Structure 1
Amino acid sequence: MKTKRRIVIMITIIMVLSMFQTSTFGSQTQEPDAMRIGVTVEIDSLSPLISYSQIGYEVFMLLYDSLITVDENLEPVANLAKNWALNDDQTEWTFELRDDVQWHDGEPFTSADVVFTYNMLLDSDLGMYSGYLGGIVEVTAPDDHTVIVRTEKPKANMLQNSCPILPEHIWKDVNPDDYMTWPNDEPIGTGGFKFSELKPGEYLKLVANDDYFLGRPGIDELIFVLYANTDTMAQSIKLGEIDAATNFSPSQLDSLQTETDIEAISAVVLGFTELSFNAWDDPSSNANPLLKDIVIRQAIEWSIDKQSILDIVYSGQGSVGTSLIPPEGFYHYEPSADELRDFNIEKANQILEDAGYIDLDGDGIRQDSDGTPLEFTFTLRADNTDEVKAGQMIAGSVAEAGIKLNIETVDDGLLIDKIYSGDFDMFIWGWGTDLDPTTILNVMTTSQIGNMSDSNYSNERYDQLFIEQQTIMDPAERQQVVWEMQQILYEEAPYIILFYDNSLQAVNTAKWTGWKRIPDEGGYFFNLTNYNYLNVQPVSDVTPVESGSNTVLYVVAAVVAVAVVIMFNKKKKAK
């Protein structure tokens, strides 16, 4: 009986200890650390040749790598290229590539991929990255880890070239005639994250690249969650359903800033919101031909109270816009007092009257000499409530100058279709810009009509200056040329730059650590670098487990075991 009793007691103790042991060590097998980021705009394409969206730029930066990138100070640093050299006449760049990089499918990365990518973009002139390559005349590879880029003249923005390098072994089988339609629905890159899944209308999921040459990211899974509106998105981050949110409404900033575990910021970023006119002087344009008159476009700008819209609709989160390049950039041009078109309804009415646009029938709408009314369609994105409110304020103030704007609201996809078909009069949109001005300046060149251009603007002098500015290596001299380009745009007004709006972002600091604003007053995301994506870690990975926790478990186990012994003895005495 004694032996039997000892066996029962020992079995009981072992069972109790094993329960706690399972609990302790089983907790070390965790679910993947998934970061969920709320967005309100869906990626328009997984192909870098087709996408023009801000979220597309962000995702491609995670999936792919460029030869050169920027660090947390936004200074050029090595990436796929580990070093580079420039010859004496500044027309030949030699890049030495890393030899430890592989594509997500395991194929080795070589110089052939760089040559293929650059030549593909140079030949097709497609996508938002083609502007980086202007002035390049030849790209060659003397060996697997060396690339030589020759330019016709010195190229000022070579080290600001963020063009993603694409895998030749996949893209070489795509017919160039199909570039505009090939979906690239399973993208293969070299970046810190691999593509996992895209569920249209719901989310885009990436996973960490275990073999990334710069080190595995601390985020196991990165999920961009699509929201129909910012109200729902803001509520989701409060409830912990997502870990970060970008571009939420100014009305939600104060509320999010009161949350203990959330850091909500108004970040100064390189970008703007514009009112774009269809300035296309072509028979295939479906725009109202009156908008080709610079006077009408200028009068509309004179009629807009940008500061009031910024204060009322955007809670002052940003600054009033003027020229194409934001004021944080070295190349920003600020119109003189004589040039500036600040809010002035009287001035708007005066220049329209002087140009012969008169209200002939007393209905409040001006007409041209043929009796055609100054009446235009104003297209706004239905799911962007702030843009709709801004558009309504613009329509109201412009009416005081005798111009009627008929507002139509559409989804993003339909607006993009309208832009590419030339079937629009005017709309509100926005652009993010780079440190180097070339990409955003390229949008306004004649060559980009039907591609990146969303105003169908053309000016021969502007086109000449665009080519020239890329060849000027001295920043101060180049600045003067870029200023002249912006001066032309401001005078002819294919765009009205409404605001340099801040990016409102929020992150969960209780769950994730290592967040860094880039630059100092900038954002966590959409800041031209993948720094946070690669360096942020789950708090659980950097917080050591208390050593006392296991001691407590063993004490509990001992108490249970003693209780079993006592109960067993009581049962024996009762017998």
Structure 2
Amino acid sequence: MTEAGGKPSWKRFQKMSASGKNLNRRAVKIEKGVIKHAHKFVTSRLDRLTEVRREVIGWAVLLMILVGLSAGQWTIFRAAYTKDAPQEGGTYSEGVLGSLETLNPLFARSNAERSAARLMFASLYQYDNTGHLKGDLAKSIAINGTETEYTITLKDNLRWSDGHSLTVDDVIFTVNLLKNSKVGASTDGWASIKVRKTADNTVTFVIPSTYAPFLHTLTFPVVPKHVLEHVAPATLRDHSFGRSPVTSGPFKFRLLQTDNRESGRKAVHMTANEAYHFGKPKLDRFQLYAYASLDEITKGLRTSEIMATPELTYASQPENVKKMYEMKAYETHNGVYALFNSKSPILQSPSIRKALVQSVDITALRKKMPQQTGELTGPILPEHTEAELERPLTRDVEAAKKLLDAEGWTVSGGVRKKGDQSLKLSVVSLQGSKYENAANSLAETWRNELNAEVEVKIVDATDANQDVLRSVLQPRNFDVLIYELVLGGDPDVYAYWHSSQDQRDQRGLNFANYNDAISDDALVGGRGKRSSKQRADYYQSFARRWQASAASLPLYRPTVEYIKLPSVQAVTQNTRLVSPTDRFADVIYWTVRQDSVYKTP
């Protein structure tokens, strides 16, 4: 150690050494103090730990119990001040059956096309979730004294998805397209209807004579004049509008996706319509997947490609699908009947038809169906009229046998015969488990109970080679036809049971060839009066005659089994469906998200 100039500084060195010794002495002193305190307060008292361990453990357990009780109390009473509530946003995906060749609602024929039309296009009127008509685009209606003019006022500030105003001109333009035979729309019957603009926001329909169900015809989708007015009617189906439409419903078009040509699967991607006149839907997006087969829809559920479908029967699904999804069944305003061809040589006699009716246990038949069914008791649904409707003959096999015996049809060699002729029936059913089960059940009953010979023929309505329309329906090529009739939202069933040539010829819908003058008068009277009381009297008379002549055998009301994820909010519990697409009646309230929120006082 040196100072400046190189001379050593011994005094400084001695001072530093003394300081280090002092530091060591202090450290030793602190160390001794720590050891002394540790011995005094810890090690010297370890032998006492066993004496207080019970108290320590007891306090620890009590503390844990208090914490658990607090947590349990919060969980138990959480429901008192919070609830799970649907939240806006998210994407809903649904699988439907059928081709998706066009998004133009005027040509919608398949389930997929009709579903897309209901989601994207508004109408003057629609069915609500109670099965009743309500104004959609229409705000009010006025009907003249003779009930032949209907003047409708549109709601204010209606808009298309491209921002253009939706007006009376669009309504008139759409009706004229429906009337034009060159268009080839899926909805007909408009040729005799006149329509005119009576004010900026009112349109008047003029019909040739009083027609009580007319309001139900105003559920056609309206299309935009400003987009289609320069398109030739004959080329409308092929126009780009069918692939990228301008819409007015709760959802607007975003994208049409095609998987591949082989599978034929397509998906319509839609987004919420902010300008929708009933308010923007809670969902951000809706995706509608169109599948070519029921197996493909099941696959879509299994892989979680879709959240829901109205097309399948829940009981037939694999267990893994049942565990993932829940189901609710909804009756529709349709009826499945065994239609008796009254021109058939054997079935011309009402007694033979009554015997066929009385031999069948309808309750047992319905239990054999692959899906839930509703009760069907006649040609008119009870909710459509105030009338007390006649019910079908009750099951009485012995009475049925006596009717056949009285007509000369006796049992010989195990087969019922009349002379050399056997009691032989041809039962035709469309392909599909629900119809086939009914046909086979009836055939089994008539063979076993009545000793009739019954041949069941299953036809595929989707097979162009079979051409069911021309080979079966138009020529009435059957004795008994298992068929589903669309009964709609009104008691008018004129098209199915009136004996006019228009209804009984090849283009008509009176497949049973039903012919009864009193029934004809009642059907005409029922559609010619708007008074519900007067209509009820007419339909009560018709139903009585229909049942007395055993015109056909009512089997059941079909249901839509809506299969969906438990977490989504979709079709409400008590919804009544006039048609399957009416499941979308309150689609603006559907959600896919839920969150816990505090209840308001």
Task: Give me the TM-score of the superposition, normalised by structure 2.
Answer: 0.67
Q: Is the 8 A contact 2:312 2:561 kept in 1?
A: yes
Q: Residues of 2 paired with 1:389 and 1:183: CA distance?
A: 43
Question: What residue is the counterpart of 2:428 in the other structure?
Answer: 379
Question: What residue is the counterpart of 1:148 in the other structure?
Answer: 204
Q: How many residues align?
A: 488
Q: How far did residue 308 of structure 1 move?
A: 0.9
2:402 is paired with a residue whose SS is helix
Q: Is the 8 A contact 2:314 2:563 kept in 1?
A: no
1:318 is paired with a residue whose SS is coil
Q: Residues of 2 paired with 1:137 and 1:256: CA distance?
A: 53
Q: How far did residue 105 of structure 1 move?
A: 7.3
Question: What residue is the counterpart of 2:250 in the other structure?
Answer: 192
Question: What residue is the counterpart of 1:242 in the other structure?
Answer: 306
1:376 is paired with a residue whose SS is strand
Greater displacement, 98-107 / 291-300: 98-107
Q: Is the 8 A contact 1:198 1:204 kept in 2?
A: yes
Question: What residue is the counterpart of 1:528 in the other structure?
Answer: 582
Q: How far did residue 220 of structure 1 move?
A: 1.8
Question: What residue is the counterpart of 1:436 in the other structure?
Answer: 490
Q: How far did residue 213 of structure 1 move?
A: 3.8
Write the deviation string for residues 393-437 of structure 1: whole angstroms up to 9, x where unpaired: 211111131322212223232445544432531332324433322
Query: Residue 276 of structure 1 is aligned with which of 320, 335, 339?
Result: 339
Q: Residues of 1 paired with 2:223 and 2:538: CA distance?
A: 36
1:513 is paired with a residue whose SS is coil
Q: Which amino acid aligns with 1:221?
A: F
Q: Residues of 2 paired with 1:394 and 1:536: CA distance?
A: 41
Q: Which amino acid aligns with 2:439?
A: G
Q: Residues of 2 paired with 1:297 and 1:54: CA distance?
A: 34
Question: What residue is the counterpart of 1:478 in the other structure?
Answer: 535
Q: Is the 8 A contact 1:38 1:233 kept in 2?
A: yes
Task: Give me the TM-score of the superposition, normalised by structure 1.
Answer: 0.69
Q: How far did residue 453 of structure 1 move?
A: 1.4
Q: Is the 8 A contact 1:302 1:348 kept in 2?
A: yes
Q: How far did residue 517 of structure 1 move?
A: 2.9
Aligned-pair identity in percent equals 17
Greater displacement, 55-64 / 398-407: 55-64
2:346 is paired with a residue whose SS is helix
1:335 aligns with 2:384: no
Query: Residue 410 of structure 1 is aligned with which of 445, 453, 459?
Result: 459
Q: CA RMSD in A?
A: 4.4
Greater displacement, 201-210 / 248-257: 248-257
Question: What residue is the counterpart of 2:401 in the other structure?
Answer: 349
Q: How far did residue 454 of structure 1 move?
A: 6.2
| Cα separation, partners in 2 of 1:98 and 1:531, compared to 1, 3 Å | same
Query: Residue 267 of structure 1 is aligned with which of 312, 317, 330?
Result: 330
2:194 is paired with a residue whose SS is strand
Q: How far did residue 328 of structure 1 move?
A: 4.0
Greater displacement, 390-399 / 317-326: 317-326
Q: Is the 8 A contact 1:364 1:402 kept in 2?
A: yes
Q: Residues of 2 paired with 1:366 and 1:44: CA distance?
A: 52
**Equivalent residues in 2 for 1:460-479 (5 A)?**
460-479=517-536
Query: Residue 137 of structure 2 is aligned with which of 47, 61, 80?
Result: 80
| Cα separation, partners in 2 of 1:475 and 1:390, compared to 1, 3 Å | same
| Cα separation, partners in 2 of 1:475 and 1:43, compared to 1, 3 Å | farther
Q: Residues of 1 paired with 2:111 and 2:233: CA distance?
A: 27
Q: Residues of 2 paired with 1:473 and 1:525: CA distance?
A: 23
Q: Which amino acid aligns with 2:444?
A: G
Greater displacement, 155-164 / 181-190: 181-190
Q: Residues of 2 paired with 1:212 and 1:452: CA distance?
A: 39
Q: Is the 8 A contact 1:455 1:494 kept in 2?
A: no
Q: Is the 8 A contact 2:100 2:290 kept in 1?
A: no
Question: What residue is the counterpart of 2:440 in the other structure?
Answer: 392
| Cα separation, partners in 2 of 1:269 and 1:524, compared to 1, 3 Å | closer
1:323 aligns with 2:378: yes
Write the deviation string for residues 361-388 of structure 1: whole angstroms up to 9, x where unpaired: 6351434x6x443323323344x22432
Q: Residues of 2 paired with 1:220 and 1:87: CA distance?
A: 43
Question: What residue is the counterpart of 2:74 in the other structure?
Answer: none
Question: What residue is the counterpart of 1:3 in the other structure?
Answer: none
Q: Is the 8 A contact 1:104 1:188 kept in 2?
A: yes
Larger-gyration structure (1/2): 2
Question: What residue is the counterpart of 2:287 in the other structure?
Answer: 222
Greater displacement, 113-122 / 527-536: 113-122
Q: Residues of 2 paired with 1:454 and 1:41: CA distance?
A: 27
Q: Residues of 2 paired with 1:418 and 1:193: CA distance?
A: 41
Q: Residues of 2 paired with 1:356 and 1:76: CA distance?
A: 51
5+ residue gaps, structure 1: 1-31, 282-287, 546-575
**Equivalent residues in 2 for 1:292-307 (5 A)?**
292-307=348-363
Question: What residue is the counterpart of 1:560 in the other structure?
Answer: none
Write the deviation string for residues 104-155 of structure 1: whole angstroms up to 9, x where unpaired: 677754434433544665687x988557x79x75322134532112345554
| Cα separation, partners in 2 of 1:203 and 1:413, compared to 1, 3 Å | same
5+ residue gaps, structure 2: 1-88
| Cα separation, partners in 2 of 1:348 and 1:113, compared to 1, 3 Å | farther
Q: Is the 8 A contact 1:193 1:206 kept in 2?
A: no
Q: Is the 8 A contact 1:80 1:98 kept in 2?
A: yes
Q: How far did residue 197 of structure 1 move?
A: 4.6
